Structure 1
Amino acid sequence: MKRFRLAAVLAAALLTLLPTTAQAAEYPDPVPLTGQQIIHDPTVIRLKSGAYAAYSTGGIIGARLSEDRTHWDDAGNAFTEPPSWWYEYNDTGDPWAPDISYRAGRYWLYYAVSSWGTNHSAIGVATSRSGVPGTWTDHGKVLTSETTDTWNAIDPAVTRADGKLWMAFGSYWTGIRMVELDPATGKAVPGTTVHHLATRPDAPYAVEGPYIVRHGRFYYLFASYDACCAGVNSTYKIRVGRSTSITGPYVDSTGTPLLQGGGDLLLEGHGRYIGTGGQSVFKDDGKDWLAYHYYDAQDEGTPKLGLNRLSWSKEGWPQVV
């Protein structure tokens, strides 16, 4: 009888653990990486050479290189020195949140310059034939915002749709916006409409860092919600919505518009991986990969690179693998 009672107790204990295990399975850990993993707001691409490049906030756009997507080496910075116009937006020439893409035989690197807590901001662009650090030529401002604007020109992310080039951007200040770019210059079309894609119901409208991906007949808007940049106290998380039109309206799986605070939760902090966000998506061998930073609770909250493959449900929604 004691054996049966013990078995019953163990079975009951196991059942109490199942919800926790199932919950943990919803947020898988990032794939194991080696080398230089410290990074913030990563944008990743597989270069034509076959190597991988990651650019990030920090330094003069910090750079990491990898031959296998697993081991990463510090590769210095995109630029050897800040372009002079950056100092119009902060005293240190400090750039934020880059976005790398490839088109028309060149790599295009978009980035933001601003100061903490203001929307006196600008997005710039540089190009390179190889995409590696030290080869970038800066082309100046793409789009600017001032304290009189209700949006913030930081956190750029470029995508092509319907034969046009678009840039999503935004942080707080009523959330995520989008403008059309001139493919020849990579800069905002003069007089372009500033579309509104996502916001939160209440100030300070804590949503930023957009990234848009086409899958099937939908465009998917990934964004970082809540607070970054506070180490283990960060509450960053990644949410997503979709639209059949690049300019929206974007809704989540319940039909709630992202302009009304909607957004399916894709990934949030769990275990040692705190404040997951600053995300981007890149393709490798036909598969989608999510790149983001997290704050490592086992390393004093140091920001590190997270990589997970994205799969897609039968209903067409992204899932972190």
Structure 2
Amino acid sequence: MQIKAQLKKVAAITGLALGALGLATQAEGATWTLSGALVTHDPSMYVEGSTWWVFETSDTGIGVKYSPDGHSWTQGVSLFGNGLPWWGAYNGNTTKAWAPDIHDWNGRAIVYYAVSTFGSQNSAIGLATATSIAKGDWVDQGIVLSSNSGSDFNAIDPNFYVDPSGQPWLAYGSWWTGIYVTRVDVTTLKPTGSRYHLAADSSGIENSFIMRNGSYYYLFVSKGTCCSGSSSTYRIAYGRSASVTGPYLDKNGVDMVNGGGTVLEAGAGEWIAPGGESVANGAMIRHKLDSYNNYTPIMFISDLVFVNGWPSF
């Protein structure tokens, strides 16, 4: 979809719909009231200084949004909006980039992102770095991981995580055999060493996000189909582990490699198919499809809490 072309249209929709939603959920103190540029897909949220940032899937490079408070959002200038020469071998010579993951590492901003075409294993994960998000002096570092039709995984949906010892990791994967994680080199930030299988699901699985709370690591994933209108089955599920490399078990003790995963959110009514999740400053951002308005993907943010060691809104 052409995200920017729909901003004005959706602003009119969400100005009322999300305002009402905020009033409806305010008593719970969980779901935030949002305004402004809310059309998004696969949002990655990060707070740098006093500014909230969202990097997102876009038809023109890596989409960017910013906010002074996490509530009022403005559409920014896309990163690599004209595409990069090496992308064409993976994304059909378009300018589209998918599922970025924004963080900082050793005082610099970093963003992993993917280029591919829908349903293809001919995919690659790229990396770009900058002095800071706000400065925006991004330099592309090229491919860090790729896959093809003979691979047993799909190199999209990257997620960067640093464990308590300071070791950085990269989780990745979409459909096929599911989600993997590997160490990345502290200098190049490219994968090194063994990979570990974290999760799989025959109904579809992607968009991994790893975080730690207390003594456990938590793996969030999007299961099902993201983009099939009324037939979309996206839902956010999770498991936890004593090790970043797994096994991640759900509330029933089922390993996520064997299809386990406790559902955090499945969507209902107007807002269906939640997914593309990430967590920053104690809040989870994700998109949901507006089933009343052409299944447009809209940004939602909710406080993420842990009850008896398990995540909840």
What TM-score do you get using the length of structure 1 for normalisation?
A: 0.85
One-letter amino acid matched to 1:319:
S
Q: CA deviation at 1:28?
A: 9.3
Counterpart Cα distance in 1 of 2:257 and 2:63: 33
- SS at structure 2 position matched to 1:130: coil
Counterpart Cα distance in 1 of 2:116 and 2:235: 23
Answer whether contact 2:90 2:117 (CA < 8 A) is retained. yes
- Find the counterpart in structure 1 of residue 133 from structure 2: 131
Larger Rg belongs to: 1
Give the alignment of 1:19-168 within 5 angstroms: 30-48=31-49, 50-58=50-58, 59-90=60-91, 91-132=93-134, 134-161=136-163, 162-168=165-171
Q: 2:310 aligns with which of 314, 317, 320?
A: 317
Counterpart Cα distance in 1 of 2:125 and 2:57: 13
Q: 2:292 aligns with which of 281, 285, 298?
A: 298
- Find the counterpart in structure 1 of residue 182 from structure 2: 179
Cα 1:174–1:131 change in 2 (3 A) is same
Q: 1:307 aligns with which of 287, 292, 301?
A: 301
Counterpart Cα distance in 2 of 1:29 and 1:302: 23
- SS at structure 1 position matched to 2:304: strand
1:142-187 Cα distance to aligned partner (Å, 9 max, x none) = 1111211111110000101133110111100111111110111111
1:265-307 Cα distance to aligned partner (Å, 9 max, x none) = 1011122111100111111xxxx11010001123221111010
- Find the counterpart in structure 2 of residue 194 from structure 1: 195
1:114-169 Cα distance to aligned partner (Å, 9 max, x none) = 11121111101001122148531110011111211111110000101133110111
Counterpart Cα distance in 2 of 1:236 and 1:100: 22
RMSD: 1.9
Counterpart Cα distance in 2 of 1:184 and 1:134: 21
- Find the counterpart in structure 1 of residue 244 from structure 2: 246
One-letter amino acid matched to 1:239:
A
Counterpart Cα distance in 1 of 2:37 and 2:206: 26
One-letter amino acid matched to 2:177:
T
Counterpart Cα distance in 2 of 1:99 and 1:82: 17
Counterpart Cα distance in 1 of 2:289 and 2:119: 21
Counterpart Cα distance in 2 of 1:152 and 1:133: 32
Over 4 Å off, 4+ runs: none
The alignment of Structure 1 onto Structure 2 pairs a total of residues equal to 285
One-letter amino acid matched to 1:55:
F
One-letter amino acid matched to 1:230:
S
One-letter amino acid matched to 2:283:
W
Give the alignment of 1:201-216 within 5 angstroms: 202=202, 205-216=203-214
- Find the counterpart in structure 2 of residue 170 from structure 1: 173
Counterpart Cα distance in 2 of 1:102 and 1:134: 13
Answer whether contact 2:208 2:219 (CA < 8 A) is retained. yes
What TM-score do you get using the length of structure 2 for normalisation?
A: 0.87
1:64-122 Cα distance to aligned partner (Å, 9 max, x none) = 11111111011020224322111110221321000001120111100001111211111
- Find the counterpart in structure 1 of residue 22 from structure 2: none
Cα 1:259–1:159 change in 2 (3 A) is same
Q: Which stretches in structure 2 are left out of the alignment for 5+ residues? A: 1-24
1:8-41 Cα distance to aligned partner (Å, 9 max, x none) = xxxxxxxxxxxxxxxx9xx998422111100000
